[in-house]
Amino acid sequence: MKCFECGGEVLKTLGSVKMTRSDGSLIIFKGIPMTQCRQCGEQYISGKWSEKIGELMRQKETLVFEEMLSVPVINLYQQTIGKGDSDLTKRMAD
Ligand SMILES: [Zn+2]
């Protein structure tokens, strides 16, 4: 199998998948069997495993977390427009 994005070589691996919950918080699922492109990092997960992830996302109240991570967050809007920089959208388009 070749990568659909870039045509690179894909390898079987155990990877992690980031999902966003309805409240905007993130869940990371680790140890997902997948194939991943060596070149661009595109992940291909089999139907069985994406179904499993979907299932777990639906029963979020009963999920058991192995670990909690704190993640750095940068709010570009607050740091730029929030400080009176109204040219941001113009410059982002460059
Ligand atoms: Zn690729």
Buried b (16+ CB within 10 A) or exposed e, 28-38: ebeebebbbbe
- What's the CATH number where 58 sits? 3.10.20
Look up the domain containing 27 and give its range: 10-69
Task: Give the number of domains in the chain.
Answer: 1
Residue 93 lies in a domain: no
CA distances from 75 to 69, 71, 72, 79, 82 (A): 19, 13, 10, 6, 10
Condensed to tens digits (0 to 9), the pLDDT of residues 28-74 reads 999 999 999 999 999 999 999 999 999 998 886 788 888 998 989 88
How many Å lie between the centroid of ligand 1 and the Cα of residue 45? 14
Residue 79 lies in a domain: no
How many Å lie between the centroid of ligand 1 and the Cα of residue 76? 29
Looking at residue 11, its amino acid is: L
Condensed to tens digits (0 to 9), the pLDDT of residues 1-36 reads 899 999 999 999 999 999 988 888 889 999 999 999
How many Å lie between the centroid of ligand 1 and the Cα of residue 53? 23
Residue 4 lies in a domain: no
Residue 5 lies in a domain: no
How many Å lie between the centroid of ligand 1 and the Cα of residue 6? 4
- pTM confidence score: 0.67
